[in-house]
Structure 1
Amino acid sequence: MSTGLTWFGWALLSALFAALTAIFAKAGLQRVDPDLATWIRTGVVWGALTLLLTLAGKWSDPSALPARTWTFLVLSGLAAGASWLCYFRALSLGDASQVAPVDKASLLLLVLFAYVFLGERPSSREWLGIALIGAGVLLLGLRR
């Protein structure tokens, strides 16, 4: 997919859509169980991606993928599902302006996991940014 966007541009778009996700989810969680809401959201994601793959002609044989790829994609899907269930439950109990920033504590864990399991080594400047994110999450958690 050649769009001219760099990883940073795609990441900014991801942040935009993640923010909209929180706003739309919070508005949609009125009078519905958060687990059912997560199921509906997952169905919408599945349908949208099915349409995208079809329109873009990107279908290929999933059985041709290596077992290692399947293993990690399944684990990723299970982790995403658990995250979404917890996120929607938190949104049903708290304000979006509280829940979404605390959810971003995942960034701290991601950096730690990437360091340990993937061998990634952030620069000093990146560690400073990560520490500031951590401080922000702590301030939000101590707010009440």
Structure 2
Amino acid sequence: MWSVFALLSALFAALTSILAKVGIEGVNSNLATAIRTAVVLVMAWGMVFLTDAQGGIGEISRKSWLFLILSGLATGASWLCYYRALQIGEASKVVPVDKLSVVITLALAFLFLHEKCTGKSLAGCALIAAGTLVMVL
């Protein structure tokens, strides 16, 4: 089931890039990011209340709070940089560079989460990096 959600995530991420490129024309990229973030915030809390998950807030550990906050800060920084890059660059070049996050994520997962580093994952990283270079050069 995770693969269905992962594919839907990829589809929505692709739509995000195209819709954002059109939407930020003539709009400050930071303001555009704030508007997008407000919409995401409403959607996320809507899902929390729709699924009756709000009761779980009290059960979140300090460690989880810390890492969720740090993740939120990283997301915010990523979105601000992404929207600025998208505003001044071509989507067909910005998006592949942004997707180098896959390579960086795998490297960080190997280093910090001690996930298994396989020949297949290394080959995939190399192909993503090579594909990015081909697309932006």
- Structure 1 consecutive aligned stretches of length 4 or more whose deviation exceeds 4 Å: none
Name the amino acid aligned to 2:49. T
Q: CA deviation at 1:43?
A: 0.2
Q: Which residue of 2 aligns with 1:3?
A: none
> CA–CA distance in 2 between the matches of 1:132 and 1:64?
41
TM-score by length of 1: 0.90
| Bigger fraction of residues in helix | 2
String of CA shifts for 1:49-70, please: whole Å, max 9, x gaps. Answer: 1111112211125243111000
Tell me, in whole angstroms, the C-alpha distance in 2 between the residues paired with 1:57 and 1:64. Answer: 14
1:74, 1:48 → 2: CA distance? 18
How is 1:54-69 mapped onto 2 (pairs within 5 angstroms)?
54-69=49-64
Equivalent-residue separation in structure 2 for 1:84 and 1:60 (angstroms): 29
Q: How does 1:1-144 map to 2 (within 5 A)?
A: 6-141=1-136, 143=137
AA of the residue aligned to 2:91: A
Distance 1:12 1:101 in 2: 17
**Aligned positions, number:** 137
RMSD (Å), alpha carbons: 1.2
Percent pairwise identity: 47
Q: Distance in 1 between matches of 2:135 and 2:16?
A: 20
